[in-house]
Homo-oligomer: A and B are copies of this chain.
Amino acid sequence: MTANPPPASPVPAATRVVCEQLAPTIADLAGNQRLVLETVERNIADGADIIVLPELVTSGYVFDSADEARSLAMRRDDGFFDQVSGLLVGTSSVVVFGFCEQSDGPQLFNSAAVMTAEGLVEVYRKVHLWDRETLVFTPGSARPPVVDTPHGKVGVMVCYDLEFPEMPRALALRGADLIAVPTNWPLTDVPAGERAPEIIHAQASARANGVFIACCDRSGIERGQQWTEGTVIVDQFGWPIDRVTGTGRATADVFLGLARDKSISPHNDLLADRRSDVYGTEGSR
């Protein structure tokens, strides 16, 4: 679907953003790696510029123990990353996906890889861990990355991070045009007529910051856990461009440069209007 009209002149090429709502298999590292490679290869052939895949897509999510998670972890020098970047040679495409990261020490991190033809250009370690993730992973301590790509600046966070409005704000202040969010959203009850609350967070954050947000959820039932299957690409005004239910992909051809314009009235600018002198929200962790 095409979301936004191009600016008048010069006319840049649209960026094709794809989120593929895969169903990885818990504890099948090799099988999930093949799934990722097949998915990247197919979407590159279809002209995707930015591909976002789910959180922990190479390992699965519902670990039965920290030892199981460790057995499904990858180091940053894992040959798998070379295989992914090999698929990107000759393109300017970017792939973002979640994986279970084995650090040089004993710690495991719930990480997101940002990959180009150059290789693994950035790894983000999830800062806000959800529920039993705290029993397996060490929380990240570095700020989320903003990666300068030929398509625009791509910020990255993972799942529960999105429920902290400070995170998209931080990425927007550092120039992100699009925020890629690998997720595994556990299914929750919502009132009749309402959509998943995580989508509401994505909409509000996109609108508050004038950025595109691409959330890639997963599908499949894993050890009894159902997922929201809420994959959504939201435009810089907060409106969903494309969504997907079940397996399949959301696609949006967007002009990411539109996220550089934060003006929302003749007298207002989303970021310049901030009043940090008043908020006083820093200081308490």
Contact A274 B132 (CB under 8 A): no
Q: Is the CB of B282 within 8 A of A276?
A: yes
Against B, the Cβ 8 Å flags (1 = close, 0 = not) of A135-159 are 1000111111000000000000000
Most buried by B among A140, A163, A204, A280: A204
Contact of A200 with B197 at beta-carbon distance under 8 Å, contacts A276-B285, A281-B166 already known: no
B285 and A208 contacting across the interface, CB-CB below 8 Å: no
Please state if B278 and A127 are interface contacts (CB–CB under 8 Å).
yes
Q: Cβ of A29: which chain B residues have Cβ within 8 Å of it?
A: none
A9 in the interface, Cβ–Cβ < 8 Å?
no
Cβ A132 vs Cβ B281 within 8 A: no
Contacts of A273 in B (CB 8 A): 128, 164
Mark A181-214 against chain B: 1 for CB-CB distance below 8 A, else 0. Answer: 0000000001100100100110111011000000
How many copies of this chain sit in the oligomeric assembly? 2
Known A164-B273, A273-B128; judge A280-B207 contact (CB<8 A). no
Query: Interface code A105-145, partner B: CB below 8 Å = 1, 0 otherwise?
Result: 00000000000000000000001111111110001111110
Cβ-defined partner of A265 (8 Å) among B130, B143, B265: B130
The segment from A43-51, A60-68, A73-81, A167-175 found at the interface with B is A167-175
A160–B273 Cα gap in the complex (Å)?
A: 10
Q: Considering only CB atoms, which chain B residue lies closest to A174 in the complex?
A: B280
CA distance A132 to B141 in the complex (A): 42
| Closest partner residue, chain B, to A238 (CB atom) | B197
Q: How far is the CA of A164 from the CA of B238 in the complex (A)?
A: 14
Let me know if A208 and B164 touch, CB within 8 A.
Answer: yes
Which of A197, A201, A237, A282: most chain B Cβ within 10 A? A282
* Inter-chain contact A280/B164, CB cutoff 8 Å: no
Known: A197-B207, A200-B200, A205-B204. A165 touches B169 (CB 8 A): yes
Which residues of A pack against B, CB within 8 Å? 127-135, 139-144, 160, 163-167, 169-170, 173, 190-191, 194, 197, 200-201, 203-205, 207-208, 237-239, 265-268, 271-285
